[in-house]
Amino acid sequence: MNSNFTIACGPDSYTVDLDVITPYSEYFGRATQFGKEASEGTITLHDDEPAMVSLMIEFLHEGDYDATSWKIDARTKDLTWIRSYRSSPYASCKGSDQHHPHSVDDSSRMPHGETSPAVGAMSSTSSKKRKLQTSQNVQPDQIVQKRQRILQDMPKGSGRALYHTPTPRHMLLHLQLWEVADKYLVPDLQALCTKRFQEAAEYYHPNPETIDAILWVYEDLPEHATDLREAVFMVVDEHPELLDDDAVRDSPSCHGLRQFMSSREVGRSQRVMNPQRGIWPYVS
């Protein structure tokens, strides 16, 4: 079986290496072995946000994803993302995973000495079907080592939060990507999304997007999203004022969170008012 495979989503099309991605996605491991998809060497993902599929494919090959290369499409009311610079190294010439024709030129964000392609133009390297850079230039053991480094516990701090989450709105990108990773059974990507979301929420907690994120986790995500709920709990535990927001207070889905935090505060107060005898010097 040819290890090259095509994943299509909306107008975008990506050439992937099955030898690289299937060990990290049970879904693609199964879907590419049997049926029409296996015989034709292509699969179409329906009802998914193309930006999230692009980021998932990036992670499957590289063990990481770059949220900073995406920005909100201001022309839409929903949470739709378009590229602000760069392009996917796995996008074929048929895909539109390039600069959006209505996007703003973000050449100021490009590394020093590089310029952004013209608005709506294909980059020179995307004029033909791209070669698989990961499978040709990186050995499998190097990929595993890179993933292990990426998935290690990341230290807190605004520097890393800003590096992975340039704006408060990008917190929601991590949640969107978690949903896609959950659908296509990519647990390593879910773990990375959770870590980056928690780190960003700890930094951006005064922003209204944090409330949006809390409601999303408790109202829209499945019950088994325990990792993200734990992340929300850690942020709320440090910043309990988030529970005072009207939207959180009025949400039935957040009732359990509010109850748990209230009982936690009561327990803390009781420990302060009634300290254990053993911690005080003995008095006869």
Higher pLDDT, 218 or 2: 218
State the pLDDT confidence band at 213, using cuts at 50, 70 and 90: very high
- pTM of the shown model: 0.73
* Dist. CA 193–CA 170, nearest whole Å: 11
Q: What is the rounded distance in angstroms from the CA atom of residue 73 to the CA atom of residue 93? A: 22
Share of the chain above pLDDT 70, in %: 68
Residue 255 main-chain phi, psi, to 5 deg: -60, -40
Q: What is the domain partition of the chain in residue ranges?
A: 4-151
Amino acid found at 279: I
H or E segment to which residue 228 belongs: helix 226-238
Query: Does residue 140 contact residue 156 with C-beta atoms inside 8 Å?
Result: no
pLDDT tens, residue by residue, 164-192:
999 999 999 999 999 999 999 999 999 99
For residue 62, give the nearest of 196, 198, 192, 173 by alpha carbon.
192
Query: Which residues have a Cβ under 8 Å from the Cβ of 220 and sit 6 or more positions away?
Result: none
- Give the pLDDT confidence of 101-150 residue by residue, as tens digits: 333 343 333 334 443 333 222 222 222 222 333 334 444 454 444 444 44
DSSP character at residue 41: T
